[in-house]
């Protein structure tokens, strides 16, 4: 009597597009398994399990396999049959472990095409080798795909579906879809102008029967005579709204390489923004940068303050104010007979025994901010002209960058062809002279490594050019936007929360002064011009609670605003290294006397100490634009042959210069200067002395 078995047959394909391939289709696999069972196990029962569009690299994502596995482990089946082990698994280590688990559960596994019957045919080495062969196409393909994706991203080519509001034309360029773009603009308007949150925006769009992105895509495909099998819901989701508000694609920025995978079919891991591939002004923008910047500031602020929609009485400075003594948030006092003012939260809840009121009026805060901005704009005409010039030069630089990138890309293509030719020649030479294989391998390895190094170097050069171009565009765009924001603020009778959020980070209120920490981008505006920041403002008679001093601090170069009891306001750039002016002077004198060097020590804007040179020619003089650019490079500078650079206008040429770095930020620089006479010390010694001075001053600032 023939013995019969309960048999499970398993079939799998990676993608549905392979359905018509004879050697991998589900139907072909099932026919092979069925014929095998009829010949070898007549009368046995055969139950098929199949996974379509599922990778062989993992088991967890295969629903049908998991169901079959439960049956195998519960002994409902005696034998598992697959066409070949590549259908079972394409991951060497994981597949072998799974095979052993099934064997230990008493399951017999047969691979028809591989001629393996395990554990009856216990040739474990053969099985290991087969799994290794099956894994190779997966890992090889993964590497190739990653290389292609990285190259396309570096070239500024989009590799995903176009975001909502855009479509890709026949020239592979992004075009704005007017109907969808209007929806995107409406979402930003509802969030910025109307104060709607994500949920309220999603409800508004759904109630007005506005098609979701997926519905729009489906409708477009059907209108063009195509077919779209995606399930499209009519309800807008909060996530969709949030992603649109957060996507800088809508301001013309192409941002790619935001995620990576540690392993094949693993989870996507978010990369740091510094590692993204970013190309500015890549395609037409739907949203202007000012609107987008306001949205991002609002989103940050609302997430901090548990935003719940527009309030009846908007407390403009709520969330920005902190008590300088106890650190508690300050609350707004709204009474019909009193002007709006803010009080210390601790004083408000626990009384005078725990803290004082630290009262400050809202209109006084408005006046301080508006006065500062007005003075800045009045004295920033030179900055605006410089900005316009930079924009024109920037466009020329961008065209030059495109030409350079094009030439570098052509060179890389030529090197890749050279590399292929070298590999082919290696094979020919080894076949002709097999006895010299070792020598030939060593020679060709050097040649190939040299060509590969050139390719990598040129690729890095392209990435640096693109990054530099994007940074320049972003800086110019930010500066222009902030200038527009400043002008808008001055036209208003009182500030609103968006105005404050765009320029202010935190406001700390003390008994005798107020510290206002500005946004970093405000400092970029300050550095762009030559504004005279000293001014006088008299308070009104009714202003009884004006603080004595106001310090305005940014993340870059801070600005201090001081007022005395008569109400005079004085604006002055804050210099961290300026705190060490006396010490820096002593250090410069020591270098000058012991080594004979003429030394100049500067902060980010001007000379703060010097020795060996006439002080009247250097003290407090503004740095030249050339030196400012050199300092930004953060490296030791030694003039090339024939090159002359002066620290200040009309000053002696620089011998060498080293920026002062403290906690990662540039605080100033140390430079040696000399006339026509030669340096009293050797050039390398001079450079070491200047480097040591800059390093020492940087450490002093940190401590």
Confidence of residue 269 (pLDDT cuts 50, 70, 90): low
Q: What is the mean pLDDT of residues 280-292?
A: 83
Backbone φ and ψ for 135, nearest 5 degrees, come out as -80, -25
Confidence of residue 541 (pLDDT cuts 50, 70, 90): very low
For residue 190, the SS3 value is helix
Residues 604, 659: Cα–Cα separation, whole Å: 9
Whether the per-residue pLDDT at 641 is higher than 90: the answer is no
Tens of pLDDT, residues 337-357? 677 888 888 888 888 888 988
**C-alpha distances in Å from residue 454, one per residue of 368, 414, 553:** 57, 11, 46
pLDDT for 699: 84
Tens of pLDDT, residues 543-579? 333 333 454 444 444 444 444 444 444 444 556 676 6
pLDDT for 555: 45
**Strand spans (E) along 84-187:** 108-111, 116-118, 166-168, 174-176
Residue closest to 397 by CA, chosen among 469, 462, 463, 478: 469
Ordered by start, the domain boundaries in the chain are: 6-150, 166-304, 381-471, 577-702
Q: Whose structure tokens read 């505006």?
A: 525
**C-alpha distances in Å from residue 529, one per residue of 490, 517, 524:** 19, 20, 9
Give 296-339 as a DSSP string: HHHHHHHHHTT--S--SS--TTTTTEEETTT-PBEEEEEETTEE
Tens of pLDDT, residues 485-517? 677 777 777 777 777 777 777 888 887 777 777
Q: What is the mean pLDDT of residues 48-52?
A: 91
Tens of pLDDT, residues 142-197? 444 454 445 554 554 555 578 888 888 877 788 899 999 999 999 999 988 888 88
- The structural architecture, per CATH, of the domain 166-304 is Alpha-Beta Complex (3.90)
The vertex-628 CA angle with 655 and 641, nearest 5°, equals 35
- Name the class of domain 577-702: alpha beta
pLDDT for 521: 56
Q: Which CATH number fits domain 6-150: 3.40.50.300, 3.40.50.1390, 3.40.50.720, 3.40.720.10?
A: 3.40.50.1390
Tens of pLDDT, residues 465-474? 766 666 666 6
């Amino acid at each position: 009597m023939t013995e019969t078995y309960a048999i499970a047959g398993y079939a799998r394909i990676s993608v549905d597009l392979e359905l018509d391939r004879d050697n991998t289709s589900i139907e072909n696999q099932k026919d092979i398994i069925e014929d095998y069972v009829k010949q070898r196990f007549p009368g046995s029962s055969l139950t098929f399990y199949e996974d379509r569009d599922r990778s062989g690299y993992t088991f967890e994502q295969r629903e049908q396999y998991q169901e079959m596995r439960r049956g195998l482990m519960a002994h409902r089946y005696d034998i598992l049959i697959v066409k070949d082990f590549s259908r079972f698994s394409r991951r060497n280590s994981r597949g072998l472990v799974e095979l052993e688990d099934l064997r230990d559960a008493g399951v017999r596994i047969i691979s028809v095409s591989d001629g393996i019957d395990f554990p009856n045919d216990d040739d474990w080495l053969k099985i290991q080798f087969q799994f290794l062969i099956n894994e190779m196409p997966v890992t090889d393909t993964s590497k190739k795909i990653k290389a292609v994706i990285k190259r396309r991203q570096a070239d500024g080519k989009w590799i995903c579906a176009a975001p909502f509001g855009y479509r890709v034309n026949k020239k592979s360029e992004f075009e704005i879809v007017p109907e969808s773009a209007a929806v995107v603009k409406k979402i930003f308007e509802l969030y910025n102008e109307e104060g709607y949150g994500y949920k309220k925006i999603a409800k508004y769009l759904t109630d007005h029967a506005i098609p979701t992105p997926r519905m729009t895509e489906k409708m477009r495909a059907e209108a063009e005579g195509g077919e779209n099998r995606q399930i499209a819901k009519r309800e807008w989701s909060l996530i969709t709204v949030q992603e649109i508000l957060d996507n800088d694609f809508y301001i013309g920025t192409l941002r790619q390489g935001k995620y990576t995978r540690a392993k094949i079919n693993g989870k996507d891991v978010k990369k740091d923004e510094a590692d993204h591939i970013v190309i500015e002004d890549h395609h037409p923008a739907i949203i202007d940068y000012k609107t987008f910047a306001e949205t991002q500031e609002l989103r940050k602020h609302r997430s901090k303050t548990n935003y719940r929609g527009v309030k009846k009485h908007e407390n403009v400075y709520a969330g920005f104010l902190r008590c300088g003594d106890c650190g508690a948030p300050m609350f707004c006092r709204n009474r019909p007979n009193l002007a709006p003012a803010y009080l210390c939260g601790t004083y408000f809840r626990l009384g005078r025994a725990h803290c004082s009121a630290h009262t400050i009026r809202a209109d006084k805060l408005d006046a301080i901010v508006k006065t500062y901005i007005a003075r800045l704009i009045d004295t920033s005409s030179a900055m605006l002209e410089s900005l316009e010039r930079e924009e024109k030069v920037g466009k020329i630089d961008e065209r030059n960058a495109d030409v350079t990138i094009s030439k570098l890309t052509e060179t890389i293509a030529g090197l890749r062809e050279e590399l292929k030719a070298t590999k082919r020649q290696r094979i020919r030479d080894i076949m002709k002279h097999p006895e010299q294989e070792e020598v030939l391998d060593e020679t060709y390895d050097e040649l190939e490594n040299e060509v590969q190094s050139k390719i990598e170097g040129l690729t890095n050069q392209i990435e640096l050019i693109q990054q530099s171009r994007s940074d320049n565009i972003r800086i110019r765009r930010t500066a222009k936007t902030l200038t527009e924001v400043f002008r808008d603020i001055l036209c208003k009778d009182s500030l609103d929360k968006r105005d404050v959020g765009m320029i202010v980070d935190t406001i700390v209120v003390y008994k005798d002064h107020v510290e206002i920490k500005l946004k970093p981008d405000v400092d970029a505006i300050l550095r762009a011009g030559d504004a005279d920041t000293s001014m006088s403002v008299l308070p009104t008679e009714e202003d009884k609670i004006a603080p004595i001093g106001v310090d305005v601090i940014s993340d870059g170069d801070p600005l201090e605003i001081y007022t005395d009891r008569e109400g005079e306001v004085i604006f002055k750039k804050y210099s961290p290294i300026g705190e060490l002016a006396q010490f820096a002077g002593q250090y410069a004198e020591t270098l000058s006397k012991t080594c004979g060097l003429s030394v100049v020590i500067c902060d980010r804007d001007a000379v703060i100490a010097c020795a060996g040179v006439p002080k009247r020619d250097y003290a407090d003089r503004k740095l030249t634009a050339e030196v400012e650019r050199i300092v930004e490079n953060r490296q030791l500078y030694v003039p090339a042959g024939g090159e002359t650079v002066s620290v200040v206008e009309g000053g002696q040429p620089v011998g060498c210069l080293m920026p002062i770095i403290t906690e990662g930020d540039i605080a100033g620089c140390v430079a040696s200067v000399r006339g026509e006479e030669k340096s009293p010390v050797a050039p390398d010694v001079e450079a070491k002395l200047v480097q040591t001075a800059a390093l020492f001053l940087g450490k002093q600032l940190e401590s």
